[in-house]
């Protein structure tokens, strides 16, 4: 498929490695590029030591001269698209695509279906739920994308007509051209990643690309209660179904006054299940589950299969994950809470007083709304990372007085343990990205869990 093609792969992390592997297997010459140098990437480069047709540009950006020989580039999500050499590639009409786009093109050989899930919050939980429903229905299913599993690897190992349930970030969607999911959803939209997108309009437009290639034979599930996603229906060519926790909808899924989840299929209504039967707590998870119902029904999954998974689904790791109770203090890992809106949903999930551990990489977020709401739930804030001072200032302005600044996760956990009382909840929900202190939110959450475990040994 890629014989005689020279491909620049930018970013030597999990996605970049899988992309390079796939391209090499399928006849391409690969130029692997990363800002890290050879020594920093030694373990990774060892994987390619016995492979032909691969070159390396490490510790720097490619020169314009080096770009002349490439046919197209596959760029990792974390790489900004306004770098000089990427702009030069586009100027000379050479494609710059994401790994998701590459996987979609390659998947056509096996007639695979993509299910696409995006939004600001709830993506990982919804992707996991939908993936488990598809698996329970007997379909060969791969849960991929921003959730941490490269889609190109699933395309490589997957069988004919398998399904890729795909979590999609705005970064990934920026670099698609032909990508077309059979069913898509935009769960919600609040300010996030404005350090990259600069405006909410740009961020919204990036998310809307998920359905730009869909047609009336495809389905798009949108949140009726979110004004931005509701308005997206006006420019969506797919068959739109809404989900709503607050309003009755004419075509989709909604919650009635009896707390029943209702399916309304063009005016024909039926009770699907009671909301209290869902295994996951919280209003945000109710919305995630309704979106999942809409997606799975639209694809044609049996309703009894959907119900059974929703009744038994366990929480996703790093998303309101119960860790342990030490001396009557409950510790909860919500490292996936990487923006203020996600942390709002986290603090609203508990009735007990909360000691909130927050802070990390600065994505340009505004924390005012978070602490206007959080002051009802949070008695103490422990801050760390690049956003520590801004979070401290915002929390104080909203009337939270007990705030501690620390330099590491171990200090944060120890301080929270010292100030917490029995029946309090220590909640790691940073409202910030992990970069600068950790490689990803999983690593941050794992560190939190290790620190909690160490409390029991003291």
Delimit the domains of the chain by residue range. 6-96, 100-312, 321-455
Confidence of residue 194 (pLDDT cuts 50, 70, 90): low
For residue 360, the model assigns a pLDDT of: 95
pLDDT tens, position by position, 230-254: 999 999 999 999 999 999 998 999 9
- Which structure tokens are listed for 403? 């705030």
Distance CA 184, CA 166 (A): 9
**pLDDT band at 191; cut points 50, 70, 90:** low
- Residue with token string 């979590």: 167
Q: Which CATH architecture has domain 100-312?
A: 3-Layer(aba) Sandwich (3.40)
Span 147-183, pLDDT tens digits: 878 999 999 999 999 999 999 998 899 999 999 999 9
Q: If we measure between CA atoms, which residue out of 30, 102, 33 comes closest to residue 69?
A: 30
- Runs of H (alpha helix) within 219-355: 227-232, 283-299, 303-312, 340-347
Distance CA 413, CA 406 (A): 10
Domains 6-96 and 321-455 share a fold: no
The DSSP code for 36 is S
pLDDT of amino acid 192: 64
- 325 annotated to bind ligand: no
Answering whether pTM is above 0.85, one says: no
Tell me the pLDDT band of 14, cut-offs 50, 70 and 90: confident
Of 149-158, 168-177, 311-320, 401-410, the range with the lowest mean pLDDT is 311-320
The fold of 6-96 is Rossmann fold (3.40.50)
Say if residue 38's pLDDT is above 90: no
Annotated binding-site residue? 125: yes
pLDDT band at 287 (very low <50, low <70, confident <90, very high): very high
CA dist 340 and 85 (Å) reads 33
3-state helix vs strand vs coil in the chain, percent to 5? 40, 20, 40
Confidence bin at 320 (pLDDT 50/70/90)? confident
Please check the confidence at residue 457 and state whether its pLDDT lies above 80.
Answer: no
What average pLDDT does the segment 52-67 reach?
Answer: 90
> Is there a binding annotation on residue 122?
yes
In angstroms, the CA 445 to CA 411 distance is 15
For the purposes of burial, counting CB atoms within 10 Å of the CB of 200, is it exposed (0-12), middle (13-18) or buried (19 or more)?
Answer: middle
Judge whether 282 is annotated as a binding position: no
Is 312 known to sit in a ligand binding site?
Answer: no
> Residue 65: how many CB atoms within 10 A of its CB?
7
Q: What is the chain's mean pLDDT, rounded?
A: 93
Q: Which of 26-30, 73-77, 230-234, 272-276 has the least mean pLDDT?
A: 73-77
Q: Does domain 321-455 have CATH number 3.40.50.2300?
A: no
Tell me whether residue 120 is annotated as binding: yes
pLDDT of residue 113: 98
């Amino acid at each position: 498929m890629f014989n005689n093609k020279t491909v620049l792969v930018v970013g030597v992390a999990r996605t970049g490695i899988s992309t390079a592997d796939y391209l090499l297997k399928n006849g391409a010459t690969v130029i692997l590029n990363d800002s890290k140098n050879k020594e920093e990437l030694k373990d990774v480069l060892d994987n390619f030591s016995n492979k032909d047709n691969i070159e390396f540009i490490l510790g720097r950006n490619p020169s314009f001269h080096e770009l002349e020989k490439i046919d197209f580039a596959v760029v990792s999500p974390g790489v900004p698209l306004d770098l000089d050499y990427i702009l030069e590639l586009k100027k000379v009409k050479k494609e710059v695509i994401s790994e998701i786009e590459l996987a979609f093109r390659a998947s056509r050989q096996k007639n695979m279906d993509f299910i696409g899930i995006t939004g600001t919050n709830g993506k990982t939980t919804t992707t996991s739920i939908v993936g488990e429903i598809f698996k329970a229905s007997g379909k060969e299913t791969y849960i991929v994308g921003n959730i941490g599993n490269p889609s190109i690897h699933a395309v490589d190992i997957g069988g004919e007509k398998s399904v890729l349930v795909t979590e999609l970030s705005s970064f990934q969607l920026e670099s698609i051209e032909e990508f077309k999911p059979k069913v898509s959803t935009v769960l919600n939209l609040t300010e996030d990643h404005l350090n990259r997108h600069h405006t909410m309009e740009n961020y919204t437009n990036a998310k809307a690309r998920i359905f730009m290639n869909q047609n009336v034979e495809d389905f798009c599930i949108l949140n009726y209660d979110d004004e931005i996603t509701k308005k997206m229906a006006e420019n969506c060519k797919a068959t739109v179904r809404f989900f709503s926790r607050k309003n009755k909808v004419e075509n989709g899924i909604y919650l009635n006054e009896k707390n029943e989840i209702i399916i309304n299929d063009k005016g024909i209504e039926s009770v699907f299940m009671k909301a209290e039967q869902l295994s996951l707590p919280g209003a945000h998870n109710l919305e995630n589950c309704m979106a999942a119902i809409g997606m799975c029904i639209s694809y044609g999954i049996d309703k009894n299969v959907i119900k059974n998974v929703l009744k038994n689904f366990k929480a996703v790791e790093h998303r309101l994950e119960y860790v342990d109770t030490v001396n009557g203090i409950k510790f909860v890992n919500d490292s996936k809470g990487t923006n203020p809106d996600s942390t709002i949903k986290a603090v609203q999930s508990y009735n007990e007083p909360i000691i909130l551990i927050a802070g990390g990489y600065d994505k340009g977020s505004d924390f005012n709304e978070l602490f206007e709401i959080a002051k009802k739930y949070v008695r103490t804030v422990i801050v760390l990372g690049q956003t520590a001072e801004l979070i401290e200032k915002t929390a104080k302005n909203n009337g939270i007085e007990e705030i501690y600044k620390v330099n590491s996760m171990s200090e944060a956990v120890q301080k929270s343990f010292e100030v917490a009382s029995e029946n309090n909840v220590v909640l790691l929900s940073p409202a910030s990205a992990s970069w600068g202190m950790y490689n990803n939110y999983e690593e941050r959450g794992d560190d939190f869990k290790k620190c909690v475990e160490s409390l029991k040994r003291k």
